[in-house]
Chain A
Amino acid sequence: MKKKITLGIVLLIVCLVTMPLFAGGAKETKPAGGVTKLSMWVFNGLHANFYKDRLESWNKENPNNKIDLSIEEYPNAEMHNKLTLSLQSGVGAPDLVDININYFSNFLKGDIQLVELNRIVDPVKDKFVQSRFEIYSLGGKVYGIPTHVGATVVYYNKEIFDKAGVDFNKIKTWDDFIEAGKKVQAATGVPMTSFEVIDQRPFWPMIVQRGGDYLDKDGNVILDSEINIKTLEAMYDMMYKHKIAIPMPGGATNREEFWPFMNKGGQACLIMPMWFMSRFLAYMPDLKGKIYVRAMPIWEPGNKRSVGIGGTGTSVTKQSKYINLAMDFLAYAKLTKESNIKLWTILRFDPPRWDVWDAPELLAPDPYFGNESVFKVLLAVKDEIVSPNNKLLSSAAQDLVRSQVMYKVLVERSQTPAEALKKAADELRKRK
């Protein structure tokens, strides 16, 4: 008896110790009653609302091929770390995933674990802003479906400009912007704008609009180019010489500290992409009716008046058991005309499919944004929207700009723009 108990205990211990080795292998996605379970990760709750809407109409239109999509929301960094680890280890990745452009290039290294999407993209490609596919492509293969153009605009708070007696419609160049800023500052005591100092806006759109970037078309590091240095020097001057700009409270537009500051009229205007409209609507209710959207000022003639910044590429992972179905749903949810209109009506994102830009839904006046037809602004600069180059070193480059360059130059003021950019570029070149 005693022996058996001992033996039992030993076996139990062995089982307990080795059990984790066998767990977690199989996925539980079994089609039951024609409904297929798919999983999706997103890093922003607002995006989840969009997919829920698209799922509902997919299921209405495809009663024989219904999808049960479970959408999981994670904070930005956590979701991408989870994705990196699950793709590295080969288990645990979702079928569909929203990947932030800040991280996208990480997933194009080595043996790519995302599914090539050309089958669904090619038939409609000519209807889209081409550069928005290029940022999610490698070697002609598309790995992510864009969510918006991300055209950078300036959001002017008309109340503050009226108080200062300044007409923002007359601001055409960044010099005009500085002059107007001085008047606003003098009349109201409110800074013209604020710059992200732990993130990269408006530095990135400001350099790309005049031909600069972090990487060139072949992926070479050009972070320390003359254009970039001159631009960062101009930003520094706006803060410390002309005193029209301040470091953003909280350091970035996605921080809790920034929203109440902006909401209470803490700054006269904000330079951000169109997708930030959704944040105005969600987080800054008091600015309703006061915000007017205009194209970016330019540095010198020939500059572009808008730059597509930011982005979310939706991808299908190779770990999916239903790759074809996931792709079909993705095509339905992001590539159709109807869905692109929904991108606007639900999320206030500027849809990447340009043949919906003159749809009545998009041209309807918006009470939050000065009761204007915001989309007319975008139509006016339609042919000027460029996007940054998203090559292999892009994630690392963006991270360096966010964490080192902006902070050291604009907050700590321990390095000049030229020094900081040179240093970051050198570090980047070591990563080859």
Chain B
Amino acid sequence: MHRVINNFLYSKKYAPYIFVLPFLISFSLFFVYPIISTIIMSFQRVFIGSITFIGLDNYKRLINESFFNAIRTNILYTVLTILYLIPVPIVIAVALNSKLLIGRNAFRAVLFLPSLISIIVSGVAFRLLFGTGEFGFVNSLLQKLGSRPVNWLLEYWPGMFIMVSLACWRWSGVNIVYFLSGLQNIPKELYESADIDGANSLDKFFYITLPLLKPIIIYVLTISIYGGFAMFGESYVYWNENMPGDIGLTIVRYIYQEAIQRNDLGYGSSIGIVLLAIVFGINILQLKFFGIFRREQG
């Protein structure tokens, strides 16, 4: 018996499969199985104990205003967060990387802290800061400045603003760390030779730092697009039960609303499948555009 196991474990044919088995098991349990059952459920009406196939009915229902609102909000949110979350952290990272800055380790820690706080905790704090009416913190500041209080949670653009600002506040720190590690990999010799050639700081930033950060930027862009389309926390914590006029409705929030709040798992599944298709499509385009599929040129 012992020998059989040993032969099995040390055979070149089977051993590799054993080593990838943990991954295969978790992958099939937590990815393949749910995806397949989601596809099946998207053609069904699902109640506990009574499941009926209803063909394409769920997909036909997708053609409605709320779903298009959700897609629009997702796209806007993604674009706005990326517009902030790439340039600003790069500039901050360059500053933090400079030896001239006093106390830069303290700054690094402080800037990274927000990403350690749970979205629910920070979201509740933001929600109360941006309370509607005249009693909210931000509104009382606005009134002191002579402006009228804003209905943060009841209008589209203010709602978008507080979602984007929460995301930017939370994720800047993480992106700064990415860019810092990228910056530290840039050889100092390049800057030294640029100095000899008489380049100023801006030249060095645009002709050395940025081009060499490109792989990091592409990586951050990819996860930001994914993060933008998978966004749920901000929407959930601001508009916990009630989503007035689809202000903060994102695709994942729409899944949640239909599948869980209105107990229609079949329809929720069909939204999920469409989301999968959208994210998959964008990522393929992006990877093609940035040439990840091409072989590295030696």
- A-side interface residues toward B, CB under 8 Å? 3, 6-7, 10, 13-14, 16-18, 21, 75-77, 80-81, 84-85, 87-88, 103, 106, 109-113, 197-199, 247, 249-252, 256-257, 260-261, 395-396, 399, 402-404, 406-408, 411-412, 427, 430-431
Chain B residue at minimum C-beta to C-beta distance from A261: B133
B47 CB–A CB distance under 8 Å = yes
B131 CB–A CB distance under 8 Å = yes
Query: What 1/0 mask marks residues of chain B from 1 to 42 whose CB sits below 8 Å from any chain A CB?
Result: 000011001100000001101100110010000000000000
Task: For the complex, count residues of B whose C-beta is within 8 A of A.
Answer: 42
B54 CB, nearest partner CB in chain A, Å = 11
Which 6 A/B pairs are nearest by Cβ-Cβ distance?
Answer: A111-B49, A110-B47, A249-B133, A407-B244, A198-B242, A106-B263
Residues of B within 8 Å of A21, CB to CB, are: 29
Q: Is the CB of A399 within 8 A of B262?
A: yes
Chain B residue at minimum C-beta to C-beta distance from A251: B154
Question: Within residues 127 to 167 of chain B, which ones have a CB less than 8 A from any CB in chain A?
Answer: 128, 131-136, 151, 153-154
B253 CB, nearest partner CB in chain A, Å = 11
- B-side interface residues toward A, CB under 8 Å? 5-6, 9-10, 18-19, 21-22, 25-26, 29, 47-50, 61, 64, 128, 131-136, 151, 153-154, 239-246, 257, 260-265
Residues of A within 8 Å of B134, CB to CB, are: 249
Q: Is the CB of B131 within 8 A of A17?
A: no
Tell me the bound Cα distance from A112 to B239 in angstroms.
Answer: 29
Q: Is the CB of B260 within 8 A of A85?
A: yes
B259 CB, nearest partner CB in chain A, Å = 9
Q: Is the CB of B131 within 8 A of A198?
A: no
Residues of A within 8 Å of B25, CB to CB, are: 17-18
Tell me the bound Cα distance from A113 to B262 in angstroms.
Answer: 17
Tell me the bound Cα distance from A39 to B10 in angstroms.
Answer: 51
Chain A residue at minimum C-beta to C-beta distance from B30: A20
Tell me the bound Cα distance from A13 to B61 in angstroms.
Answer: 45
The 22 listed contacts between A and B (C-beta, < 8 Å) are A13-B21, A17-B22, A81-B260, A84-B260, A88-B48, A109-B47, A111-B47, A111-B50, A113-B48, A197-B154, A198-B243, A256-B128, A261-B133, A396-B262, A403-B243, A403-B244, A403-B245, A404-B246, A407-B244, A411-B151, A430-B61, A431-B264
Tell me the bound Cα distance from A199 to B21 in angstroms.
Answer: 51
A319 CB, nearest partner CB in chain B, Å = 12
B18 CB, nearest partner CB in chain A, Å = 6
Tell me the bound Cα distance from A106 to B6 in angstroms.
Answer: 55
Tell me the bound Cα distance from A247 to B260 in angstroms.
Answer: 28
Q: Is the CB of B133 within 8 A of A13?
A: no
Chain A residue at minimum C-beta to C-beta distance from B65: A423
Q: Is the CB of B263 within 8 A of A84?
A: yes
Known: A84-B260, A249-B134, A396-B262. 19 other contacts (CB 8 A): A87-B48, A88-B265, A110-B47, A110-B48, A111-B48, A199-B242, A247-B154, A249-B133, A249-B135, A256-B131, A257-B136, A395-B261, A399-B257, A402-B241, A402-B242, A403-B243, A403-B245, A407-B245, A411-B151
Partner of A251 from the list B244, B262, B265 (CB cut-off 8 Å) is B244
Tell me the bound Cα distance from A404 to B265 in angstroms.
Answer: 21
Chain B residue at minimum C-beta to C-beta distance from A249: B133
A129 CB, nearest partner CB in chain B, Å = 27
Residues of B within 8 Å of A75, CB to CB, are: 240
Chain B residue at minimum C-beta to C-beta distance from A13: B22
A84-B263, A257-B131 known; A404 and B49 CB under 8 Å?
no
B158 CB, nearest partner CB in chain A, Å = 12
B34 CB, nearest partner CB in chain A, Å = 13
Residues of B within 8 Å of A109, CB to CB, are: 47-48, 263
Q: Is the CB of A10 within 8 A of B9?
A: yes
Tell me the bound Cα distance from A13 to B50 in angstroms.
Answer: 38
Q: Is the CB of A404 within 8 A of B154?
A: no
Q: Is the CB of A17 within 8 A of B26?
A: yes
Partner of A257 from the list B26, B135, B246, B264 (CB cut-off 8 Å) is B135
Q: Is the CB of B245 within 8 A of A399?
A: no
Q: Is the CB of B132 within 8 A of A7?
A: no
A198-B244, A430-B61 known; A110 and B133 CB under 8 Å?
no
A84-B260, A430-B61 known; A77 and B48 CB under 8 Å?
no
Q: Is the CB of B18 within 8 A of A10?
A: yes
Residues of A within 8 Å of B136, CB to CB, are: 257
Tell me the bound Cα distance from A276 to B239 in angstroms.
Answer: 22
B50 CB, nearest partner CB in chain A, Å = 4
Tell me the bound Cα distance from A124 to B122 in angstroms.
Answer: 49
Residues of B within 8 Å of A199, CB to CB, are: 242
Partner of B9 from the list A7, A13, A87 (CB cut-off 8 Å) is A7
Tell me the bound Cα distance from A165 to B9 in angstroms.
Answer: 93
Tell me the bound Cα distance from A140 to B32 in angstroms.
Answer: 43
Residues of B within 8 Å of A17, CB to CB, are: 21-22, 25-26
Chain A residue at minimum C-beta to C-beta distance from B265: A88
Residues of A within 8 Å of B128, CB to CB, are: 256
Residues of B within 8 Å of A395, CB to CB, are: 261-263
Tell me the bound Cα distance from A106 to B261 in angstroms.
Answer: 8
Residues of B within 8 Å of A396, CB to CB, are: 262, 264
Tell me the bound Cα distance from A388 to B153 in angstroms.
Answer: 29
Residues of A within 8 Å of B48, CB to CB, are: 87-88, 109-113
Tell me the bound Cα distance from A152 to B210 in angstroms.
Answer: 64
Residues of A within 8 Å of B241, CB to CB, are: 76-77, 402
Residues of B within 8 Å of A399, CB to CB, are: 257, 261-262
Chain A residue at minimum C-beta to C-beta distance from B259: A84
Q: Which of B26, B240, B241 has the most CB of A within 10 A?
A: B241
Chain A residue at minimum C-beta to C-beta distance from B5: A7
B25 CB, nearest partner CB in chain A, Å = 5
Tell me the bound Cα distance from A247 to B5 in angstroms.
Answer: 73
Tell me the bound Cα distance from A16 to B132 in angstroms.
Answer: 48
Residues of B within 8 Å of A431, CB to CB, are: 264
Q: Is the CB of B245 within 8 A of A110?
A: no
Q: Is the CB of A251 within 8 A of B153?
A: yes
A240 CB, nearest partner CB in chain B, Å = 16
Q: Is the CB of B154 within 8 A of A106?
A: no
Partner of A408 from the list B21, B47, B240, B245 (CB cut-off 8 Å) is B245
A188 CB, nearest partner CB in chain B, Å = 17
A192 CB, nearest partner CB in chain B, Å = 18
Q: Which of B22, B26, B239 has the most CB of A within 10 A?
A: B22
B255 CB, nearest partner CB in chain A, Å = 12
